[in-house]
Chains A and B, each alone.
Chain A
Amino acid sequence: MSGRHVHGGPECKALFAKLSEYMDGELDPTACASVDDHMADCERCREFLESLRRAVAHVNTTDVPGLPENLKRDIVSAYERARSSS
């Protein structure tokens, strides 16, 4: 906000290591407030955080095909056969 901050210094590097914990709400209040302050002053870190949030949101919403019914039936039948023959 002040425009005095230059991205890429030790402060940005230290913050970089904590971004996931920050996103997940796992930082203690003091550390969280310090990240908030930094974000307010560093546009590049804000942009980076947003891109990380988007990447994680894509992972969160990735869908996969469900379990085919015939596979479920085959597994149960195979077990029942093995069970009755043992």
Chain B
Amino acid sequence: MGSASDDTSLLARIKADAPGAFDEFVERFGGRIYAFGMKFCGEREDAKDVLQDTLIQAYKSLRGLDRPEALTSWLYRVAANACLMKRRKGKFEPERELSLEDLMPKPGERVGTEIPDPSALPHDDAVRAETAARVRKAIGDLPPAYRIVLVMRDMEQLTTQEVADALGLEIPAVKMRLHRARLMVRKSLEAEFATDARPKDRS
């Protein structure tokens, strides 16, 4: 999200509430926070709210942050809370972690034959748009506690440690949720793409 020296300088300007500091803060982080909100929530209006809530809350609270090197995790923590508040359909913490057994293919079930290789997709806008819609749906269907970890690790490319810091989880919990989230996305995409392989009814 910016070099450490840039972050140190910006943080000093924010603490002093220098003119233009908020503008610079939005310029530096706004795009990434908005994209994060889009990836998690899937809707522009929600992403907009996440961005506004995060920027205002973060800007006020950043004055109390002493370690510029913690800025990235810290911002993601605020943004993740804004995302989860936006999508509070159920409790964030799962009642129990999903069982691996449920995500393993059943005996005799075909695997690995349906999901196309993304690097080998045809240069056809309609196919690519349809594929992207399926992927977004698979991500959107994940329970929030798993989706937030997947978005941070596999879309925002944060490290396991950064995700653990941002979400207040232990590293094994981050790894476990990431693995289950990936397995759920795989299962969902496998089922989606399998429908293409079936003969279509002709009307």
* A interface residues, Cβ below 8 angstroms from B: 8, 13, 16-17, 19-21, 26, 44, 46-52, 54-67, 71-72, 75-76, 79-80, 83
Contact = CB atoms under 8 A, between A and B. Distances in A.
B30 A48 contact: no
B30 A62 contact: no
Contact of B118 (A54, A65, A72): A54
The B contact surface, by secondary structure, is helix
B91 to A, nearest CB: 24
B154 A56 contact: yes
Contacts, number: 113
Interface stretch (B8-16, B76-84, B162-170, B181-189): B181-189
Contact of A56 (B17, B51, B131, B182): B182
Contacts of A60: 154-155
B132 A63 contact: yes
A62 to B, nearest CB: 5
Interface in B148-175: 150, 154-155, 160, 175
Contact of A67 (B22, B34, B160): B34
Contact of A57 (B17, B22, B55, B118): B118
Using C-beta atoms within 8 Å of the partner chain, give the interface range for chain B: 35 or more
A50 B118 CA distance: 12
Contact of A54 (B17, B55, B115): B115
Which 5 A-B residue pairings sit nearest by Cβ, starting from the closest?
A: A47-B112, A55-B186, A64-B38, A51-B112, A20-B179
A57 B119 contact: yes
B179 A51 contact: no
Contact of A8 (B23, B44, B107, B115): B107
B60 to A, nearest CB: 11
A58 B182 CA distance: 11
Contacts of A59: 135, 139, 150, 154-155, 182, 185
Contacts of A65: 38, 44
Contacts of A67: 30-31, 34-35, 51
Most chain B beta-carbon neighbours within 10 Å: one of A54, A59, A61, A65: A59
Contacts of A47: 111-113
B25 to A, nearest CB: 9
Nearest to B187: A55
A8 B138 CA distance: 26
